[in-house]
Amino acid sequence: MRKPLVAALLALVTAGAGAAPAVATPAAPASGSTALAQKDAQKDARKEAGALPARQAAGAVPAAVDFAGTVALSNCSGSVVRLPGSADGDPALVLTNGHCLETGFPAPGQVLVDRSSSRTFGLLDSAGTRVATLRADRIVYATMTDTDAALYRLTSTYARIKSSYGIDALTLDDTRPAAGTAIKVVSGYWKRIYSCAIDGFAHRLKEGGWTWKDSVRYTPACDTIGGTSGSPVVDAATGRVVAVNNTGNEDGARCTVNNPCEVDADGTVTVRRGINYAQQTHQIPACFAAGNRLDLNRSGCTLPKP
């Protein structure tokens, strides 16, 4: 999983949970998690050093895709997002990974809905400069089952963010992306943009105790690192969000934490060392009613329920 992993490991130790995906910069790890945390931190540093040439080789980033509307979390990346039907006066939403929650990783099968939160997010402008601190009042939805996503409700509306900072939210596409689509993975944590394409889709992606469905597989140029967890995956042609970045196979191990494996419909397991993944987001808009109100019972909503 692509976040600064140590913060998550500490949360897991506190909660008594088991393992983790792609997160950011390490603090001092605790108890039995020390070796794994140090290993992850060293690996992230090596990958970080080599990431820039890979991005440059992939080509220049189009002006239409920049950092505006992305956010930096304490341990991950994210973005202010709106649904196709959102109104300017609706409370704004922030999208990141379920494994980026301040409370630690949701357990397999666990779905969190309408939980209190006071988490803050650093809002970035087009150049990647932090221009404001936004605050959440609720975790609207979060899970690591079938997908790896969390949505926070902010205390600010889209209109207020626009009038105060001149920044628009990114829009979630409600259509499934296609293989071959040119994409940008925009990390607010690292202030980096990775350019590549959708290589294909994993029927099931297994990592530790978690399983995700229909995951996006990147071409190798998107060599994401810890801290990019929760980054919006943006269609380079439309500027719309089609997925949320979440993990990659680091060591070539099979189906372990930080080493997800692909499982085909017939049960065949494939390990792709060095390849990174995201979870699709086209299914999210169908689960929201007017006013950005979550309704998991709406027709067409396929997100897991509590």
Decide if 182 contacts 58 (C-beta within 8 A): no
pLDDT for position 53: 34
Domain at 148, CATH number: 2.40.10
**pLDDT tens column, 211-242:** 999 999 999 999 999 999 999 999 999 999 99
Q: Is residue 126 part of a domain?
A: yes
pLDDT for position 2: 72
Total domains present in the chain: 1
Instruction: Return the amino acid letter for 275.
Output: I
State CA 19 to chain mean position distance. Answer: 17
Q: Is residue 40 part of a domain?
A: no
* 204's tokens: 């099931």
Domain of residue 122, residue span? 70-172
pLDDT for position 208: 98
Q: Is residue 89 part of a domain?
A: yes
Closest residue by Cα to residue 242 from 156, 179, 153: 179
pTM beyond cutoff 0.75: yes
**pLDDT tens column, 28-79:** 333 333 333 333 333 444 344 333 333 333 444 454 899 999 999 999 999 9
Could you list the mean pLDDT of each consecutive 10-residue stretch along the chain, which spans 306 residues? 53 37 43 32 40 38 81 98 98 98 98 98 98 98 98 98 98 98 98 98 98 98 98 97 98 98 98 98 98 98 98
Q: Is residue 82 part of a domain?
A: yes
Q: Is residue 117 part of a domain?
A: yes
Q: Is residue 138 part of a domain?
A: yes
* 3 state SS of 128: coil
Closest residue by Cα to residue 184 from 71, 58, 73: 58
pLDDT for position 42: 37
Q: Is residue 105 part of a domain?
A: yes
